[in-house]
Structure 1
């Protein structure tokens, strides 16, 4: 049974949080500059381990934007200019709705049934990409615009101008206790003043996740505003050797699309010095999801896996830019395949964060293989006897969305909208 109330809340949230009609304002003199607007003071320069060469790239930078349909992003002149320098992923998909579970998934390989944007903390026995990277001494960090202090644990933060720019739900690694409960790891969840210092000192890590604030990522504004921020922040950095080297891969994408009743196709773009000249201004129609970023990193550095959706061969194709070099075999799904997985359902996936379909946190599936040849990472405090073999079976998200199921999803959502108030939506998704 679909849980229509959650779906209706998220649909209504789009109306309740209408885009702010404002002109982009640069938050700092340059992307390499510190700024009082960023609030958090720089906490010195991080120390990284020696560079670990990858098979294709030595640095991977993800920049996540918000809630935009593919066509809307692709129509923006800034994205079109950037696309001429890279590879547009026309078959890239978010894995669910709303925002927070997508952020959980991209670093942890699962969203654990979450179907809201509420305050969550995933327990210490659930692993992330950090565990895989640290096994091979690959440095990592994440930069969060307007986060007041490193590894800030609050639900959100309001600037002195009374606008809430930062939210926890868009900061994926801070939600995992396996990261924040270790002080050396927590220090790598950094703010934008830290970024200015780190890039200036040429001390950026090898794996980086960047989250702009709620205006600059398009959440409270629109795709044009987010594009203007990219023009201010990313475009100058593309020519900065401290940021973009010959072995750097940069990915721009969105957490989810805006229209919940269609497939969760979002804009994805691969940039950076590692993209060969012959592949610039091209498209890749291969079916990818947020789990593909995990499997691609695993493949590039020959890492282990998390034993979750990063080992799902339907959902975790490795980017062809890398797979073509490593001879990794992807499936044959593309953006035009007739039966793609159902990735726009909300509230129907069992898990420990879904009160309506509760399933305990399960041990990783050690029988699967990820993008690399390493073993599944199993934290020492995991109950390895608690597996999918003895827990309620989740809904098969690799099953294609049928016409009847899509109609039922829309019908259930519509029947609930009249019963939910805008105030209730604002309270849940603030």
Structure 2
């Protein structure tokens, strides 16, 4: 295959669900069964990802346990007990040197000052390797933990998120890079001319500032976003530097890539200031038969109660119990509206309509990969697909979701990464010490620099 994009290389992130991305991963004997609260497990994953020269590790989050059918949820523990990601990443920071440390934090149930302070602190602790995945919360149960009777409506969540991120960016500019003199001879600690109050007053927030954390080594942490709705794309084009997206066909990925990068000009941004990284659920075998056996084994572990619960959640909590598992999705689902994540909702409906998948087939596909694209194959076949998407401008890189942990990550690092390196598609060494260095992103200038 002729090399295209010869001056560019893939970007790789590693998404760590505690025991792995597959919904039944905790039942596989190779998985760390208590992973959610096992620090040594995460520390070893981070070291393995850094050995594989990954740009970043990424942790999802929610500020509520999963709400739903407890008969099913008792068989699916992964959202029930796990570390706060910023606390965990702060502990991992001194154990790594180059790996980016990225976490989700919702704009729906936080305050801008809290988020600005926590991520600026992580960036300083890690020497410039922090990243913030800006989300608006799809878990509707979170509302009940924060004094609300209902979740914010979808578009209102994004409207609030735009102002939220603007306030956070302003707080991150509170101090100029050279504001701190720290001179004993003159007894001067900082220069007041280089300290800036934000004095923000908007529709949702009133924040005086300044932030009581020095300016980030990266100017500010790297901003990621994962929404693919219209409102989510606008937010990403305006603010994001990396986008995580579930894409299942090259054509669909190319259309998303063109659309999102095409929106950036109106916000005064260049296309190369945003890295689009579709989700990838690789199941790697030294032979195709071995890879298929791994996939079939994991799918055989999915209990129907869990499969239905995961699928129901993606469909706006539509109750699928009582329907024929080997029959079609009921017509009533087509009329359902979702106030949760719209991307998964639309993907499931498309599979049902276009491929005529049964309920069982739908939950095996969706639950088995949490809505991400599954690639079952050898290192060569998986690298072929990644190269086709990269060179076809469907992706700048991938967010890799290992099906099981730690084994799935070991397989990818030991088998697929060398194949990508041999093709010149992926680095042999890190470009620098910060996440921005390795992603090839600009250091943003302070709004007060002029």
Shared fold, TM over 0.5: no
More helix by share: 2
Larger radius of gyration: 2
TM-score of the pair, normalised by structure 1: 0.30
TM-score of the pair, normalised by structure 2: 0.29
